[in-house]
């Protein structure tokens, strides 16, 4: 038992370090993560990585990847994180959308999209959630109907929601209802679409936290070719499972405000008896719990990496990450607010400790507990896929979609 | 990255599981629980000694197998799964570890071969009453090599041949090896009768110091750090078994026309157990690495392992009973073995709240040094 790289891993890491030192940015690109300067910087960095073979390391060579191992990808990520690299708006496309295209599209389509996506020239988004169904993706109501002119084209109408990056995406994959007369899972079909089509309207969602990282996307008579279909008609659910397989890995749980930032602030904040808050025993006990959870997650990741390093499939333990980290983010940040006492309500970045990081976390945590699988859905997944407990009884299983009861 | 046990260690774990399935079924645990005259399972103790497990981490030169602490960790996990009713922790994690850590050559030569052979049972005697042990709670004293005082409770104190006792000499705390012949022992009623405990009264017992004068509390911390990691593996084993029991029962029990395992209230409860168990396992693994390499991170790793494992075992053992419903509250079911053992293991080397305080103190020192 050790934390050392194998000989091959060490050689790869050394090669990565040399390349990063010569090529990675040394200064932060700009403070606005969604600004156009930042997007240009992201594209430039992605293109550099692609040219050197460090974008899409694990993709097969025939897709334009490197045919590398998952651990090589992890190693690159670890080393890259040591530099002030720009944000990564390509993650959803390269992690979920484009692999779906590569699995289900025709040869010409694959040839058309892989290269520009890898180089960061084109950005993709994933259009699954709808106002009528977040956890229940298969309840999608957005519909695609054949055009009446006999062309074989499809006409899409409806609305998607919580679409990350739609505002700067060039393409997207969308799951739509093509047959409302069969049960919900059987009447769905997947397509790729051009997000720049005028029939697609993107409206940012104003989050409760104040920011706008997600969007609503409206389709009004969006006409697409049948050749944009990914998989068979009515096979959309099966295709979406391929897409979602990667989501829980792609949605990271890391946040800036952890136990060490809490400890730093607790050292400088007066506690109940006038000494530092860090001496308050109730805070110390919670701090210990958060440390133990954070270490538990860190070493769970180390176990996952070990399995990858040995060429094995990681065990189910990797599924616990977001449940633990999202809940901790909310609890830890709130405890920090309470430690600051009356001052805790201030979220002015110039006045609040850690530039208001705890206040931001309190306001963002409700979203993190929902995004990429709610706490409740993730527990269902652990119960069903890891522990082998039965699935929920589904009252809509044998009901035609059009006859399903609906509420809000 | 190589943060897992080796194939050989996993093989040892499989063999240990098979051995304990055959030699430590729940019926044996129940016998020790119900028979007041049985302080432990002496037959199991003999066969465990014959397997060489008592000396797994003891060097060959001192009669052990000379394997290492990672091997001891996998054995500990399996012992925890079956709530083995033997004085393994007292003898191996505490006495043997203490002697290997701080014993003189003569002490090592005297005790380690006999521990490895199963000839002596050990115990650690630090508590004298309610509350956490500290310099202020130690009244037992040594004068001219003779120990006087009372220790309560001492796990396995009623069956031990050798006690490691925290006592003061000239006002300074030290740890002393004491031959139990002639020491007055009174068995205590405890929450977990599968691991007996006693009140020990020392009246001029011959005491030989372990380690330096005035080093007692410092040394005790180091011993408990090592024991905490091994105990964490027992706790993780017990927590995993509790989750399995809950799962097996939930899949068989019907209510309102379907298995209770199909209700989200039960599924989410079991998922919560799984999450805590995995956090405990990952922290225990880090502890195992620190123990095996004697890393400077050992005190922090040990604290984290103990806190996570105590939480996981407590949660899994209580929610296992809850999942069973009324039958889980009966004496005839085995659920309470795990509930009782979770209390024993969480308290025997100091309660989690004490370890949380130790952990934060270590983190403060580490951050100050950085």
User: Which sequence spans correspond to the domains of chain A?
Assistant: 7-88, 124-247, 252-370
Tokens encoding A345: 């309500």
Chain A residue numbers with beta carbons less than 8 Å from the beta carbon of B253 are none
pLDDT of residue B205: 97
Rounded to 5°, angle at Cα A43 from A39 and A49: 145
**Cα dist from B84 to B33, B220, B334, whole Å:** 11, 25, 13
Per-residue pLDDT of A47-72, as tens digits, reads 999 999 999 999 999 898 999 988 89
- Contacts of A207-212 with CB under 8 Å at 24 or more apart are A207/A367, A208/A363, A208/A366, A208/A367, A209/A360, A209/A363, A209/A364, A209/A367, A210/A363, A212/A34
pLDDT of residue A249: 46
pLDDT of residue A317: 81
Alpha carbon distance B145, B176 (integer Å):
9
- Over 60: is that where the pLDDT of A253 sits? no
Give how far B344 is from chain A: nearest CA, Å: 21
What would the mean pLDDT of B277-296 be, rounded to a whole number? Answer: 97
Q: How high is the mean pLDDT of chain B?
A: 97
Percent of chain B with pLDDT over 70: 100
Chain B residue numbers with beta carbons less than 8 Å from the beta carbon of A379 are 264, 267-268, 271-272
Alpha carbon distance A82, A356 (integer Å):
23
What would the mean pLDDT of B288-304 be, rounded to a whole number? Answer: 96
Interchain contact, A297 vs B279, CB within 8 Å: yes
Alpha carbon distance B71, B67 (integer Å):
6
**Cα dist from A36 to A31, A117, A214, whole Å:** 11, 18, 16
Q: Which of the four pLDDT bands, split at 50, 70 and 90, describes residue B41?
A: very high
Interchain contact, B271 vs A289, CB within 8 Å: no
Q: Which of the four pLDDT bands, split at 50, 70 and 90, describes residue A133?
A: confident
Alpha carbon distance A333, A53 (integer Å):
39
pLDDT of residue A115: 95
> In terms of Cα–Cα distance, which of A30, A217, A219 is closest to A126?
A217
Alpha carbon distance A32, A257 (integer Å):
19
Chain B residue numbers with beta carbons less than 8 Å from the beta carbon of A71 are 1
CB proximity A260 to B under 8 Å = yes
In DSSP terms, which residues pair with B259 in a beta bridge?
B254
pLDDT of residue A28: 66
Q: Which helix (H) or strand (E) holds A283?
A: helix A281-309
Alpha carbon distance B118, A234 (integer Å):
68
What would the mean pLDDT of B55-62 be, rounded to a whole number? Answer: 97
Of A154-168, A293-307, B41-55, B163-177, give the lowest mean pLDDT range.
Answer: A293-307
Q: How many CB atoms lie within 10 A of CB B102?
A: 19
Label each residue of B63-101 as H, E or C. Answer: CCCCCCHHHHHHHHHHHHHCCCCCCHHHHHHHHHHHHHH
**Cα dist from A98 to A23, A122, A149, A225, B88, whole Å:** 26, 11, 31, 18, 56
CB proximity A376 to B under 8 Å = yes
Residue B20 in contact with residue B79, Cβ under 8 Å? yes
In DSSP terms, which residues pair with A1 in a beta bridge?
none
In DSSP terms, which residues pair with B147 in a beta bridge?
B142, B205
Give how far A323 is from chain B: nearest CA, Å: 9
Residue B235 in contact with residue B277, Cβ under 8 Å? no
- Over 80: is that where the pLDDT of A27 sits? no
pLDDT of residue B352: 97
- Over 70: is that where the pLDDT of A24 sits? yes
Architecture of domain A124-247: Beta Barrel (2.40)
Domains for chain B: give ranges and CATH numbers: 7-116 (1.10.540.10), 122-213 (2.40.110.10), 217-369 (1.20.140.10)
Say which residue, A28 or A124, is predicted with more confidence.
A124
Alpha carbon distance A170, B357 (integer Å):
53
Helix-helix angle B335-348:B26-34, to 10 degrees: 70
- Over 70: is that where the pLDDT of A35 sits? no
pLDDT of residue B107: 98
Tokens encoding A22: 């010569």
pLDDT of residue A372: 83
Query: Could you tell me how many residues make up chain B?
Result: 370
Per-residue pLDDT of A67-97, as tens digits, reads 998 889 989 999 999 999 999 999 999 999 9
Nearest CA in chain A to B359: A288
Label each residue of A43-100 as H, E or C. Answer: HHHHHHHHHHCCCCCCCCHHHCCCCCCHHHHHHHHHHHCCCCCCCCCCHHHHHHHHHH
pLDDT of residue A59: 92
pLDDT of residue B211: 95
Asked if the bond preceding B43 is cis, omega within 30° of 0, the reply is no
What would the mean pLDDT of B244-270 be, rounded to a whole number? Answer: 97
CATH number, span A252-370: 1.20.140.10
Q: Which of the four pLDDT bands, split at 50, 70 and 90, describes residue A242?
A: confident
Pick the residue of B9, B266, B282 with the most A CBs within 10 A to test the interface with A by mutation.
Answer: B282
Nearest CA in chain A to B286: A299
Q: Which of the four pLDDT bands, split at 50, 70 and 90, describes residue A248?
A: very low
> In terms of Cα–Cα distance, which of B134, B105, B297 is closest to A299?
B297
Interchain contact, B357 vs A289, CB within 8 Å: no
Q: Report strand pairing: A200-204 vs A214-224.
A: antiparallel
In DSSP terms, which residues pair with B124 in a beta bridge?
B164
pLDDT of residue A30: 54
Interchain contact, B289 vs A1, CB within 8 Å: yes
CB proximity B278 to A under 8 Å = yes
- Over 80: is that where the pLDDT of A255 sits? no
Chain B residue numbers with beta carbons less than 8 Å from the beta carbon of A335 are none
Q: Which of the four pLDDT bands, split at 50, 70 and 90, describes residue A269?
A: very high
Q: How high is the mean pLDDT of chain A?
A: 92
- Over 50: is that where the pLDDT of B344 sits? yes
């Amino acid at each position: 038992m050790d934390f050392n790289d194998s000989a091959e891993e060490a050689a790869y890491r050394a090669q990565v370090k040399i390349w990063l030192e010569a090529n990675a940015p040394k200064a932060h690109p700009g403070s606005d993560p969604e600004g156009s300067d930042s997007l240009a910087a992201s594209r430039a960095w992605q293109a550099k990585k692609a040219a050197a073979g460090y974008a899409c390391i694990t993709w097969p060579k025939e897709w334009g990847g490197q045919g590398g191992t998952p651990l090589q990808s992890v190693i690159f990520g670890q080393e890259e994180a040591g530099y002030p690299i720009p944000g990564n708006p390509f993650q959803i496309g390269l992690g979920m959308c484009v692999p779906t295209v590569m699995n289900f599209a025709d040869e010409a389509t694959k040839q058309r999209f892989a290269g520009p996506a890898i180089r960061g020239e084109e950005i993709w988004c994933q259009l699954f959630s709808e106002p009528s169904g977040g956890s229940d993706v298969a309840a999608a109501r957005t519909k695609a109907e054949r055009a009446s002119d006999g062309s074989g084209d499809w006409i899409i109408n409806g609305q998607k929601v919580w679409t990350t990056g739609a505002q700067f995406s060039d393409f997207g994959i969308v799951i739509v209802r093509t047959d409302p007369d069969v049960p919900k899972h059987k009447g769905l079909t997947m397509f790729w679409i051009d997000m720049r089509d005028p029939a697609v309207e993107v409206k940012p969602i104003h989050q409760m936290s104040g920011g706008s990282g997600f969007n609503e996307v409206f389709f009004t008579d969006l006409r697409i070719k049948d050749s944009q279909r990914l998989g068979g008609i009515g096979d959309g659910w099966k295709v979406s499972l391929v897409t979602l397989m990667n989501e829980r890995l792609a949605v990271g749980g890391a946040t800036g405000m952890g136990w060490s930032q809490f400890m730093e602030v607790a050292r400088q904040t007066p506690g109940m008896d006038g000494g530092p808050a860090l001496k308050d025993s109730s805070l110390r006990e919670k701090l210990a719990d958060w440390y133990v959870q954070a270490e538990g997650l860190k070493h769970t990741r180390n176990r996952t990496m070990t399995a990858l390093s040995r060429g094995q499939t990681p065990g189910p333990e990797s599924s616990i990450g977001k449940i633990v980290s999202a809940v901790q983010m909310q609890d830890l940040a709130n405890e920090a607010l309470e430690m600051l006492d009356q001052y805790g309500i201030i979220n002015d970045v110039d006045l609040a400790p850690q530039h208001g990081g705890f206040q931001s976390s309190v306001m963002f945590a409700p979203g993190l507990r929902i995004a990429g699988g709610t706490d409740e859905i993730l527990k269902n997944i652990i119960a069903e896929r890891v522990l082998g407990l039965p699935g929920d009884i589904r009252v809509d299983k044998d009901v035609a979609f059009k006859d399903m009861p609906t509420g809000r | 990255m190589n943060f897992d046990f080796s194939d050989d260690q996993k093989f040892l774990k499989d063999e240990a599981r098979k051995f304990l399935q055959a030699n430590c079924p729940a019926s044996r645990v129940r016998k020790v629980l119900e028979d007041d005259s049985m302080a432990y399972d002496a037959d199991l103790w003999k066969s465990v000694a014959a397997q060489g497990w008592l000396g797994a981490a003891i060097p060959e030169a001192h009669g052990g197998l000379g394997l290492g602490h990672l091997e001891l960790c996998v054995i500990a996990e399996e012992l925890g799964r079956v709530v083995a009713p033997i004085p393994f922790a007292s003898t191996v994690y505490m006495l043997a570890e203490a002697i290997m850590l701080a014993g003189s050559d003569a002490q090592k030569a005297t005790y380690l071969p006999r521990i490895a052979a199963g000839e002596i049972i050990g115990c650690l005697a630090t508590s004298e009453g309610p509350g956490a042990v500290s310099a202020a709670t130690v009244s037992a004293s040594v004068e001219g090599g003779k120990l006087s005082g009372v220790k309560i409770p001492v796990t396995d104190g009623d069956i031990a041949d050798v006690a490691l006792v925290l006592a003061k000499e000239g006002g300074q705390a030290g740890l002393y090896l004491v031959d139990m012949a002639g020491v007055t022992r009174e068995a205590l009623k405890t929450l977990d009768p599968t691991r007996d405990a006693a009140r020990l009264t020392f009246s001029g017992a011959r005491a030989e110091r372990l380690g330096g004068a005035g080093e007692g509390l410092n040394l005790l911390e180091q011993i408990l750090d090592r024991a905490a990691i091994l105990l964490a593996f027992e706790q993780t084993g017990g927590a995993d078994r509790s989750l399995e029991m809950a799962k097996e029962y939930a899949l068989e029990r019907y209510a309102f026309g379907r298995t209770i395992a199909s209700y989200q209230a039960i599924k989410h409860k079991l998922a919560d157990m799984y999450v805590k168990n995995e956090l405990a396992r990952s922290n225990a693994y880090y502890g195992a690495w620190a123990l095996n390499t004697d890393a400077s991170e050992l005190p922090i790793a040990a604290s984290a392992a103990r806190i996570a494992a105590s939480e996981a075992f407590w949660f899994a053992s209580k929610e296992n009973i809850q999942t069973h419903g009324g039958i889980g509250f009966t004496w005839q079911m085995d659920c309470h073995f795990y509930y009782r053992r979770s209390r024993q293991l969480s308290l025997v080397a100091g309660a989690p709240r004490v370890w949380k305080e130790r952990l934060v103190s270590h983190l403060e020192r580490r951050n100050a040094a950085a």
